[in-house]
Amino acid sequence: LGISYKTAWYLCHRIRAAMLETAPKKLGGTVEIDETYVAGKKRRWRAKGEISVVIGIRQRNGDLRLIRAEDAKSATVREIINANIGSHVEVIMTDESAIYPWALDKMQKNLHKTINHSREYAHGDVHTNTVESAFSLLKRGIVGTWHKVSAKHLPAYLDEMCFRFNNRKNPFLFRDTMLKLIDSPNLEYKHLTAKVQDAA
């Protein structure tokens, strides 16, 4: 295109902002939940990179949600689960992490099934393989396509991945993305580059 890296970076973030689903439907049916950890950019030479918690929620044969969490505490995960899973959920599958028994409400606990990954990765149809495959796609994207992302901008990359994944069967994906870009509010460059007090 003959443009600078700065301009290309800004344009890509404007497209990612347009990919944000402003009113996503809550997930139901059979849902898998898992958490992963993503290393971000180093802030300075020889410094450790930022580590971000990402909660993944995947409806089987349905949509994906990837949310950067402030931490992996049960109260934080509970808020994310309740914001993304509807009352029409039928089964909730996780690993045996101690997070989830405390993060699920009474109704959700009655629907909860777990898999012990130290013994097996699936027990019949009880597994978290589909949400874990989404984590694999995410980490390949960070290493091979985006080449590391900061904690501050990680949510935008998660939005992009979810939009692409949830529209993977849409033959008009490019057109729909451009229409969303036209209708989306302007994203100022100074907002993208502003420092945050707590970016972790």
Provide the residue ranges of all domains of the chain, joining segments of one domain with +: 25-167
Give the confidence band of 95 by pLDDT, cuts at 50, 70, 90.
very high
> Average pLDDT for residues 10-28, to the nearest whole number?
87
In the CATH scheme, what is the code of domain 25-167? 3.30.420.10
Does residue 88 register a pLDDT over 90?
A: yes
Task: Say if CB 115 and CB 95 are below 8 A apart.
Answer: yes
Q: Name residue, tokens 């992490």.
A: 97
* Cα–Cα distance, 135 to 129 (Å, whole number): 10
DSSP percent split of the chain into helix, strand, coil, nearest 5: 40, 25, 30
> Average pLDDT for residues 63-89, to the nearest whole number?
96
Q: Name residue, tokens 């992302």.
A: 149
pLDDT at 23: 83
Other Cβ atoms within 10 Å of 143 Cβ, number: 11
Give the predicted TM-score (pTM) of the model: 0.85
Give the confidence band of 49 by pLDDT, cuts at 50, 70, 90.
low
* Cα–Cα distance, 58 to 171 (Å, whole number): 22
* Cα–Cα distance, 164 to 171 (Å, whole number): 12
